[in-house]
Chain A
Amino acid sequence: MAKIKDFPTLPTIYTKLVDVMNNPYCTIDDIANVIATDQSSAIKILKISNSAIYGHTKRIKSVSEAVFIIGAREIKAIVLTLAIMKLFEGAKKNENFDPLEFWEFSFAVGSISRNLAINLKLPNPEDLFVAGIIHGIGKLFLIIGIPDLYSNIISASKLKKMDLREVEKLVIGITHSVIAQLLAEKWNLPMDFGILFENLYSGLNRGNFHNYASVVHIGLVSASMLKIGNSCTEIIPALNKDLLAQVDIDPKFFSKNIELIKKEVIEMRMLLSV
C-alpha cells in the first residue's frame, strides 16, 4: 500500500490535458499546445491517428488536425495510454516476464475489445481499445515494485496451475486487480476504469453489462486463449456465460476477426516502438 502511495503520478502531459479539458471554454489549440510540450508523445499521437485503427481516409498532418478529426476525448485516451506505457517502461525482462510479450498481449486485448465494441455497435469503440491496452497496470506495478518476488509468484502460478490472483493473495495479501483499482483512484482516472479493474474477471458490474468491464473481460479471456503475447499466466480465465447471454455478438466473431486482430497487434507494436 505504501508503495502505491509513493508511486509516481501520471506524466504532466496527461494531468495538464485533463486540466485544460476541464475548462468548458478550452479550444483545439489549447489541447494541441499541451501535447506540443511533449514531442515524443506528439509524434506517436500523429502516427496512431493516421493508423488503420482510426481508419481516416485523410492524412492527418498536425496535432490540431488530429484533435479536430479524431476528437479531444479520443486524443486524451491515447495520451493516457502513452503516459501509462511511459510510467511502466522500467519493467525489466526476467525469466517469467517479457515486456514485449506483455504489451503484445495488452494490444491484443485492446484490439479484440475495440472490434467487439464495433460488433456490438457500442459508442466510441476506441475507448475500449485503450481500456484493453491498460487493463494490466496492476501486474506492471508489481513487476516494477517487487520484481523478484513477483517473478516467483508468476512461476508458482505456472507450476501449480493456479490462478495468478490466488497466488498473489496468498503471498502478498493483495491482487493485481485491487492494485489497479488503487492506481486508478490515485491517478483520478475516469470512474469507468475503476469499474473495469474491479470487474475485469467477472465481466459484469453488479450483474449488469458494463461497456468497459464486459467487453474487456471478453477481450482478456480471448487474448489468453488465442495465445497472442503473454499475460504472465498461462491459465485461461473463464468466460462469464451470464454475460454472453446478455450480449448479441456474431457467433463467428473470432474466426472472422483473428487476422485483423493479429494485424492490429503488429501495427501497434510498430507505432509505439514496443
Chain B
Amino acid sequence: MPKYVQADKIEDGMILYEDLTNRQGYLMLSKGMVLGIKHKKVFQTWNIQGVLVESEEDDLEIDPQFVNDAKIYLESLMSWQCSLPLELDLFDTAIKNIAKNEQNIAK
C-alpha cells in the first residue's frame, strides 16, 4: 500500500514505491530504492514536492464496522454492479477511502 510523503518529510529507510521518472521519461530513481535524509536535498534540487513510498499501514487498521458501513452506503448510491477488475479495484479503494475518512472523523 503506497503512501504519499512530502519531500521534506522523507526519513531514513523509507522505500520508494514506484520508479521516479522525469517528464521526458528518463529514470531518476528506481522503485524499491531505500531513501534517506540525503534525498531531501536531491528532491529539492529536482523540484520534486513528494513521492510515494511503501507503507506498512494496512487495512486492518480500519475498524470493520466502518468498512461495512461504507460498503452499504456506496451500494445504496449505485444502480449498477461492479464486475470488471478495474471496477472492483475502484469499489474496494472507495470503500477504504470512505471508511478511513469516517474513522478519522469519529476519532
A226 to B93, Cβ gap below 8 A? yes
| B86 touching A253, Cβ below 8 Å | yes
Q: Which residues on A sit within 8 Å (CB–CB) of B91?
A: 225
Give the residue of A50, A161, A241 whose beta carbon is less than 8 angstroms from that of B47: A50
Contacts of A260 in B (CB 8 A): 2, 4, 52
Which residue of chain B has the shortest Cβ distance to A221 in the bound complex?
B90
Contact of A55 among B23, B80, B83 (CB under 8 A): B23
Which A45-76 residues have C-beta < 8 A from chain B? 50-52, 54-59
Interface status of B106 (Cβ within 8 A of chain A):
no
Residues of B within 8 A of A258 (CB): 93, 97
The answer to whether the Cβ of B3 comes within 8 Å of any Cβ in the partner chain is: yes
Q: Are B101 and A222 touching (Cβ within 8 A)?
A: no
Number of A residues, CB within 8 Å of B: 35
Please tell me if A18 contacts chain B, counting CB pairs below 8 Å: no
Residues of A within 8 A of B93 (CB): 226, 254-255, 258
CB-based nearest A residue for B88: A251
Given contacts A244-B84, A255-B89, contact A59 B4 (CB under 8 A): no
Q: What residue of chain B has the Cβ atom nearest to residue A54's Cβ?
A: B23
Question: Which chain A residues numbered 243 to 274 have a C-beta less than 8 Å away from chain B?
Answer: 244, 249, 251-256, 258-260, 262-263, 267
Q: Which residues of B contact A236 (CB under 8 A)?
A: 74, 77-78
A244–B48 Cα distance when bound, in Å, is 33
Taking CB atoms, residues of chain B closer than 8 Å to A255 are: 1, 89, 92-93
A198 an interface residue at 8 Å Cβ cutoff? no
Residues of chain B within 8 A (CB-CB) of A226 are: 90, 93-94, 97-98
CA distance A263 to B7 in the complex (A): 13
How many residues from B make CB contacts under 8 Å with A?
Answer: 34
B78: chain A residues within 8 A (beta carbon): 225, 236, 238
A239/B89 in contact, CB under 8 A: no
Q: Is the CB of A259 within 8 A of B52?
A: yes
CB distance from B26 to the nearest CB of A (A): 10
Which B residues are CB-close (under 8 A) to A251? 85-86, 89
- Report chain A residues within 8 Å CB of B8: none
Q: Find chain A residues with CB under 8 A from B3 CB.
A: 259
B104 contacts the other chain (Cβ, under 8 Å)? no
Assuming the A-B contacts A51-B49, A225-B74, A255-B92, are A239 and B87 also in contact, with contact meaning beta carbons closer than 8 angstroms in the complex?
yes
Using a CB–CB cutoff of 8 Å, the interface residues on chain A facing chain B are 50-52, 54-59, 161, 222, 225-228, 234-236, 238-239, 241, 244, 249, 251-256, 258-260, 262-263, 267
